[in-house]
Amino acid sequence: MKANCLSIGHRGAKAYVAENTLESIQKALDFNVDGVEIDVHCCASGELVVFHDFTLDRMTNGKGELKHYTLSQLKALKVDGQYLIPTLDEVLSLIDKKCILNIELKGKFTAEPTCKTIQNYIQNHGWNYSDFLVSSFRFSELETTFNSDRNIPLGVLIDADMNDAMVFAKTINAKAINPGSTLVTRDNVNLAHRNGYAVNVWTVNDEATIKRMKDYGVDAIISDKPDCV
């Protein structure tokens, strides 16, 4: 069993406070997590905002696609009736190097502005490359990140085949494979480790699966209940 399995809060502490809000991220920090995972999109005015869905309908009192809204329009909305949609800068200011930040490139064209933001925080705010992991299901966004700054640690998000992910991971010198928990076996964790990749599994919330993932030797568990990891 891996003794130092990291606890990463999924969209903050999603089980306790509305996902991807500053309040949810603060809740995760209160649990002394090793990392926080968030999602980013570009809004119509160009800023990176922290939000999971492509549409606003599920989580806010807004309607339609997020990419058509400016930041000021998004800031006028309420998440879950009470919270604001944060920018990536606001999340970085809150975390302030207290833990690793796993930024998932959810929307299109998020790689370049994310790289610039990371570089700014490294150059001007005392962060290190090791404080970040940039992940995505969008392999083209990961390729753009790799070509923009090869020092940024990358994670390949997958919900299908771990072997295919490892083949792609090699082309971008990725540090991690981030598989869904149903894909994970002891053998493919060992294979990933032999190939030099960390395995960060998502989204694991129940005690039995958390125990099994730890027994398989995963490096990190991304959970809505990071206090249980």
CATH number of the domain to which 114 belongs: 3.20.20.190
Distance from C-alpha of 182 to C-alpha of 159, rounded to nearest angstrom: 8
Give the model's pLDDT for residue 90.
98
> Does residue 35 fall inside a structural domain?
yes
Q: Which of 147, 205, 210 is nearest to 173 (CA)?
A: 147
Query: Residue-wise pLDDT tens for the chain (229 aa)?
Result: 445 899 999 999 999 999 999 999 999 999 999 999 999 999 999 999 999 999 999 999 999 999 999 999 999 999 999 999 999 999 999 999 999 999 999 999 999 999 999 999 999 999 999 999 999 999 999 999 999 999 999 999 999 999 999 999 999 999 999 999 999 999 999 999 999 999 999 999 999 999 999 999 999 999 999 999 9
> Does residue 218 fall inside a structural domain?
yes
Strands 6-10 and 220-223, bridge-based pairing: parallel
> Does residue 67 fall inside a structural domain?
no
> Does residue 15 fall inside a structural domain?
yes
> Does residue 49 fall inside a structural domain?
no
User: What is the longest distance spanned by two Cα atoms in the chain?
Assistant: 49
* Percent share of the chain, pLDDT over 90: 98
> Does residue 48 fall inside a structural domain?
no
> Does residue 83 fall inside a structural domain?
no
Considering its fold, how many domains does the chain have in total? 1
Query: CA 158, 163, 166 angle in degrees (round to 5)?
Result: 75
Cβ-defined contacts of 193-200 (< 8 Å, 24+): 193/217, 195/166, 195/169, 195/170, 197/166, 197/169, 198/155, 200/6, 200/8, 200/102, 200/133, 200/155, 200/176
Q: Which domain holds residue 198?
A: 6-41+96-228
Three-state secondary-structure class, residue 152: coil
> Does residue 159 fall inside a structural domain?
yes
The whole-model pTM stands at: 0.98
